[in-house]
Amino acid sequence: MQISLHKVDFRRLKSICKFIISAQIFSMCKTFLLNLCYNSPMFTGVVEEVGKIQSITKNQLVVECQLVLGGTKNGDSIAVNGVCLTVTEISDNSFAADVSPETFRISALENLRIGDKINLERALSANGRFGGHIVSGHIDGVGKIVSIKPVNGFYDLEIKLEPEEAKFVVKKGSVAINGISLTIAEVSGDRIRLAIIPHTFENTSLAQSKAGDFVNIETDILSKYIEKFLSTGDNRSRISVDFLQRNGFC
């Protein structure tokens, strides 16, 4: 069946489409948040402590730290440079976590050496403050620091992303860099620029970072859900010609 375009009320059609998309996205976000809160660890990208690599092997790393050990027990989750890892051993000043070959392969953890500083964050508790943005600890890939330099008391950080991650970043949007929740100041192709405040720079591993370093990237997970919902390749919309006719759009 074909419809003449001049018979379509595009203003009404645009309004109803906006409403449907908004309602679907709201429902999707609500389902996602409930699932995340009740079924899996969640982080906020607010670094609690900068730890130090005590030892690292092909399947385990040991992290020297203090603050994040408080209330932590075997089986709990800690984000290490943004990668969600499960604590397997605890001592007075360190914890150990197993790391699979796949995690090493797809993350910047494989570049760590003994003595390197790393960002640490415990999983968000039910009554915790949500200070950053939703961070799952399942990174998307690895980016490369192009430059990091002081500018008028702040720090300008530029990172080159892989194309798969670059499509999910927007100006003023959120991104986790080595587990740090940051706001994107500018997007240019596959590069993003971020303005870092002195507190963040001084209290994270950014203080030891330099051009050429590789960093873990986790883009905003909601943007990936929205892309999937709006993707024409995975479109299960119930809107049809019959629907439009029955509801007075043409």
Residue 49: count other Cβ atoms within 10 Å of its Cβ: 19
Q: What share of the chain in percent tops pLDDT 90?
A: 62
Whether 249 has a pLDDT exceeding 90, the answer reads no
Between CA 175 and CA 220 the distance in angstroms is 6
pLDDT digits (tens, 9 = 90+) for 23-64: 555 555 555 555 555 556 789 899 999 999 999 998 999 999
Contact 195, 154 (CB under 8 A): yes
pLDDT digits (tens, 9 = 90+) for 212-234: 999 999 998 877 777 776 665 55
Q: What is the CATH number of the domain that holds 198?
A: 2.40.30.20
Same domain, 190 and 237: no
Same domain, 204 and 168: yes
pLDDT value at residue 53: 97
Q: Is residue 126 included in any domain, yes or no?
A: yes
Same domain, 19 and 111: no
Same domain, 235 and 123: no
The one-letter code for the residue type at 59 is N
| Strand partners of residue 79 | 84, 121
Q: Is residue 211 included in any domain, yes or no?
A: yes
Band of pLDDT at residue 90, cut at 50, 70 and 90:
very high
What average pLDDT is seen over the chain?
83
Q: What share of the chain in percent tops pLDDT 70?
A: 72
Ramachandran sector of residue 212 (left: φ over 0; alpha: ψ -120 to 50; beta: rest)? left
pLDDT value at residue 20: 54
Same domain, 66 and 173: yes
Same domain, 21 and 122: no
Supply the range of the domain harboring residue 150: 40-219
Contact 26, 32 (CB under 8 A): no
Residue 221: count other Cβ atoms within 10 Å of its Cβ: 19
pTM: 0.78
Same domain, 57 and 162: yes
Same domain, 101 and 117: yes
Band of pLDDT at residue 182, cut at 50, 70 and 90:
very high
